[in-house]
């Protein structure tokens, strides 16, 4: 009959030869650790662990991509049409080599309308009662508005570059001065648009936003009514208007984001 | 165990107090907020979902204020608003995919999760249809699907069954019951039957305050001796209808069996009966509400 015994590693029972048990301390009984192998194994474990994500955090670029890929096809067609129109308009003035005031008026009015159309995608976020729901998502309404503004800003920058780049050589005023003449109405029209967006409580969807954009764009038509608007002596006023416009637009954006965050805009605008 | 604590939450709209010093602690389970229209349920739920900011008080999740948790809190939140918003030109699938992306669902899980939710809510066959063609019931189901997309730890449903037919209501109740383990589910309704059987705890709201809180048994217990049944003739029934709160009315031949809610015995011959949640509702919310109209439609 075999008898099983549980032997401690420290006190081994006498073997079959009858020799007495050998007492070995635990530290000596273990195999020596291969430090190099241990470090390599740990590095592999660390690498595997770093790849395992318990929670998914999308990057900023992923958020932008997610916002862009769910934009309707009409939005991309509109942007494409705007870019094409900007090219054609600029080419027309380049070939025609007409007077600077005529070109500036036409281009700045076009730029203002284009800016407002690009900005109308923000209004879409507030339409169809979506604002309340969007405010509760991981990427919330405020962040969505920021992404849409960034997108609109990039689109505007491309359009402006196209216009100034194509007309640059034939433009007697130079790119810097033309930039000021075009930016001032653009900035003020955008301020008006954003202000109306929060104050008038946009209730409709696409059409209302476009109508609002057109209305604000009309403000850019004033040089048509006032022929001497582009005379050099008024350039300082244009510069002041541009600087003031930059600050006011920034303030208007901060106000809009603040209202979404702190006030009950999500509710008000979704009504 | 997750815990959501509302600490003296108050919300003012100019001079009107919508929510008045509400303090509750919610752990996993189904919580049913019951109250008449204008009781402050939606305002309270909107504050839980960070849509509104409380005028005073603080909401904490596991001891941390939710405004500090910010995105981490919204990550575990599922919300179905009373006025459910949608982009009408989106298909159901595209809409859910959009919201799943905004809820930061991993791209490799996104499509699978959307499909699962479409199946769960019975919208699989309509996933390619534009939302603008959906009926009220389908819209509500789509709303429930989007709220569940991120497998939320806190699920807030404001009037989830409005617009659903009885079959869809039962289906919804079963979905909620099956989801209740390990998460906080907050339901707001003024339709008693929506929460009577699935809520672990009932919270009665009136004029911005929680006036009663507990299990269905506990809440109804307080009504013992206040619910009566009486077999009256037609004229007497009409008279009593003007005097007492009638929770049910049933024609039995030329007589009418009345179920009344009254602190004292309404008349000789009335017998006390065991109270239900509808009786509790009627006792506290005597003003005409949708629930009462619903009751009237059902009984008369």
Instruction: Tell me how many domains chain B contains.
Output: 2
Please state the three-class secondary structure of A63-131 as a single string: HHHHHHHCCCHHHHHHHHHHHHHHHHHHHHHHHHCCCHHHHHHHHHHHHHHHHHHHHHHHHHHHCCCHH
Question: What's residue B130's pLDDT?
Answer: 93
Query: Is A236 part of any domain?
Result: yes
pLDDT reading at A2 higher than 80: no
**Which residue among B170, B191, B220 closes a domain?**
B220
Question: What's residue B63's pLDDT?
Answer: 92
Question: What's residue A196's pLDDT?
Answer: 76
Same domain? For B243 and B133 the reply is no
> Does residue B265 or residue A222 have the better pLDDT?
B265
Question: What's residue A147's pLDDT?
Answer: 93
pLDDT in tens, B104-160: 999 888 999 999 999 988 899 999 999 999 988 889 889 999 999 999 999 999 988
Residue B244 φ/ψ, nearest 5 degrees: -115, 165
Question: What's residue A219's pLDDT?
Answer: 66
Query: Is A52 part of any domain?
Result: no
Q: Under an 8 A CB cutoff, do B74 and A134 touch?
A: no
What are the chain A neighbours of B79 within 8 Å (beta carbons)? 133, 136
Question: What's residue A52's pLDDT?
Answer: 65
Query: Is A163 part of any domain?
Result: yes
Question: What's residue B300's pLDDT?
Answer: 34
> Does residue A167 or residue B130 have the better pLDDT?
B130
Least confident of A39-48, A126-135, A206-215: A206-215
Question: What's residue A260's pLDDT?
Answer: 78
| CA–CA gap between residue B140 and residue B122 (Å, rounded) | 11
Question: What's residue B113's pLDDT?
Answer: 93
What are the chain A neighbours of B46 within 8 Å (beta carbons)? 132, 267
Query: Is A15 part of any domain?
Result: no
Same domain? For B125 and B162 the reply is yes
Same domain? For B59 and B94 the reply is yes
pLDDT reading at A13 higher than 60: no
SS3 B212: strand
Least confident of A89-93, A195-199, A236-240, B122-126: A195-199
DSSP B101-157: HHTT--HHHHHHHHHHHHHHTT-GGGTTSBGGG--HHHHHHHHHHHHHTT--SEEEE
| CA–CA gap between residue A220 and residue A74 (Å, rounded) | 25
**Which residue among B187, B220, B253 closes a domain?**
B220
Least confident of A123-127, A142-146, A236-240: A123-127
Instruction: Tell me how many domains chain A contains.
Output: 1
Strand-strand pairing, B154-158 and B184-189 = parallel
Q: Under an 8 A CB cutoff, do A262 and B106 touch?
A: no
CA distance to partner chain B, nearest, from residue A148 (Å):
14
| CA–CA gap between residue B223 and residue B241 (Å, rounded) | 20
pLDDT reading at A245 higher than 70: yes
Same domain? For B133 and B197 the reply is yes
Least confident of A173-177, A237-241, A250-254, B118-122: A173-177
Q: Identify the band that residue A95 occupies on the pLDDT scale cut at 50, 70 and 90.
A: confident
Same domain? For B241 and B148 the reply is no
Same domain? For B74 and B86 the reply is yes
Q: Under an 8 A CB cutoff, do B52 and A131 touch?
A: no
ipTM, two decimals, is: 0.84
Question: What's residue B33's pLDDT?
Answer: 93
Note down the domain range covering A114.
Answer: 60-270
| CA–CA gap between residue A237 and residue A229 (Å, rounded) | 10
Query: Is A49 part of any domain?
Result: no
Question: What's residue A207's pLDDT?
Answer: 61
Q: Under an 8 A CB cutoff, do A136 and B74 touch?
A: yes
Q: Under an 8 A CB cutoff, do A139 and B104 touch?
A: yes
Query: Is A95 part of any domain?
Result: yes
Q: Identify the band that residue A1 occupies on the pLDDT scale cut at 50, 70 and 90.
A: very low
pLDDT in tens, A170-199: 777 788 888 898 899 899 888 888 877 766
CA distance to partner chain B, nearest, from residue A138 (Å):
5
For residue B52, give the nearest of A130, A264, A270 by CB distance. A264
Same domain? For B216 and B226 the reply is no
CA distance to partner chain B, nearest, from residue A75 (Å):
13
Residue A122 in contact with residue A152, Cβ under 8 Å? Answer: yes
Note down the domain range covering B212.
Answer: 3-220
Least confident of A121-125, A214-218, B105-109, B203-207: A214-218
Same domain? For B206 and B237 the reply is no
Share of chain A above pLDDT 70, in %: 74
Same domain? For B234 and B203 the reply is no
For residue A138, give the nearest of B71, B84, B97 by CB distance. B71
Same domain? For B79 and B214 the reply is yes
Query: Is A222 part of any domain?
Result: yes
Interface residue B139 vs chain A (CB under 8 A): no
| CA–CA gap between residue A170 and residue A178 (Å, rounded) | 12
Question: What's residue B248's pLDDT?
Answer: 83
pLDDT reading at A233 higher than 80: yes
> Does residue A271 or residue A79 have the better pLDDT?
A79
| CA–CA gap between residue A48 and residue A45 (Å, rounded) | 5
Query: Is A3 part of any domain?
Result: no
Same domain? For B82 and B185 the reply is yes
For residue B51, give the nearest of A66, A139, A267 by CB distance. A267
Question: What's residue A97's pLDDT?
Answer: 64
Size of interface A-B (CB pairs under 8 A): 80
Question: What's residue A4's pLDDT?
Answer: 44
Q: Which residues of A touch B (CB under 8 A)?
A: 53, 55-58, 66, 70, 72, 124, 128-140, 144, 205, 262, 264, 266-267, 270
Question: What's residue B298's pLDDT?
Answer: 42
Regions of chain B where pLDDT drops below 70: 286-300
Q: How many residues does chain A have?
A: 271
Angstrom distances, CA of residue A195 to CA of A43, A123, A149: 56, 12, 14
What is the pTM assigned to this prediction? 0.78
Same domain? For B209 and B248 the reply is no
Terminal CA-CA length for chain B: 46
Question: What's B180's domain CATH number?
Answer: 3.40.50.300
């Amino acid at each position: 009959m075999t008898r099983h015994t549980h032997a401690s590693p420290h006190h081994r029972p006498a073997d079959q030869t009858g020799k007495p048990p050998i007492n070995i301390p635990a530290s000596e009984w273990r195999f020596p650790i291969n430090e190099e192998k241990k470090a390599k194994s740990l590095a592999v474990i660390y690498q595997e662990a770093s790849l395992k994500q318990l929670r998914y955090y999308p990057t900023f670029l992923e958020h932008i991509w997610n916002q862009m890929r769910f934009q309707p096809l009409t939005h991309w067609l509109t942007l494409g049409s705007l870019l094409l129109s900007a090219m054609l308009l600029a080419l027309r003035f380049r070939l025609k080599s007409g007077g600077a005031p005529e070109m500036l008026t036409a281009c700045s009015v076009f730029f203002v309308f284009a800016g407002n159309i690009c900005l109308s995608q923000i209004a879409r976020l507030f339409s169809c009662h979506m604002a309340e729901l969007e405010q509760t998502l991981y990427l919330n309404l405020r962040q969505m508005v920021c992404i849409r503004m960034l997108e609109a800003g990039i689109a505007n920058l491309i359009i402006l570059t196209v216009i100034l780049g194509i007309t640059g050589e034939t433009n007697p005023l130079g790119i810097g001065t033309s930039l000021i003449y075009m930016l001032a109405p653009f900035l003020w029209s955008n301020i008006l648009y954003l202000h109306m967006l929060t104050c008038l409580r946009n209730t409709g969807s696409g059409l209302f936003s476009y109508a609002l954009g057109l209305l604000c764009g009309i403000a850019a038509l004033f040089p048509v009514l006032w022929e001497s608007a582009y005379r050099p002596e008024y350039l300082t006023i244009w510069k002041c208007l541009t600087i003031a416009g930059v600050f006011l637009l920034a303030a208007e954006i901060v106000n809009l984001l603040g209202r979404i965050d702190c006030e009950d805009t999500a509710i008000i605008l979704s009504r | 165990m997750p815990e959501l604590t509302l600490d003296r939450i108050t919300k003012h709209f100019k001079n009107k107090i919508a929510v008045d010093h509400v303090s509750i602690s919610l752990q996993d389970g189904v919580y049913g907020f019951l109250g008449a229209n204008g009781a402050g349920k939606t305002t309270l739920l909107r504050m839980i979902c960070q849509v509104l900011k409380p005028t005073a008080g603080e909401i904490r999740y596991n001891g941390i204020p939710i405004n500090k948790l910010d995105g981490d809190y919204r990550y575990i939140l599922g919300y179905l608003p009373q006025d459910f918003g949608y982009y009408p030109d989106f298909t159901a699938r595209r809409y859910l995919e959009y919201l799943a992306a905004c809820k930061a669902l991993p791209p490799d899980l996104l499509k699978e999760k959307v499909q699962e939710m479409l199946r769960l809510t019975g919208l699989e066959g309509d996933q390619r249809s534009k939302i603008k063609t959906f009926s009220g019931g389908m819209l509500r189901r789509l709303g429930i699907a989007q709220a569940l997309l991120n497998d939320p730890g806190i699920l807030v449903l404001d009037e989830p069954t409005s617009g659903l037919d009885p079959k869809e209501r039962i289906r919804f109740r079963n979905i909620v019951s099956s989801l209740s383990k390990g998460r906080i589910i907050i339901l707001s309704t003024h339709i008693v039957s929506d929460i009577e059987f699935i809520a672990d705890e009932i919270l009665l709201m009136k004029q911005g305050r929680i006036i009663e809180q507990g299990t269905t048994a506990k809440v109804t217990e307080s009504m013992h001796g206040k619910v009566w049944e009486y077999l009256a003739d037609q004229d007497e029934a009409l008279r009593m209808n003007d005097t007492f709160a009638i929770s049910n009315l049933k024609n039995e031949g030329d007589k009418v069996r009345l179920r009344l809610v009254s602190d004292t015995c309404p008349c000789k011959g009335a017998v006390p009966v065991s109270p239900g949640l509808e009786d509790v509702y009627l006792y506290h919310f005597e003003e005409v509400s949708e629930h009462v109209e619903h009751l009237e439609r059902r009984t008369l």
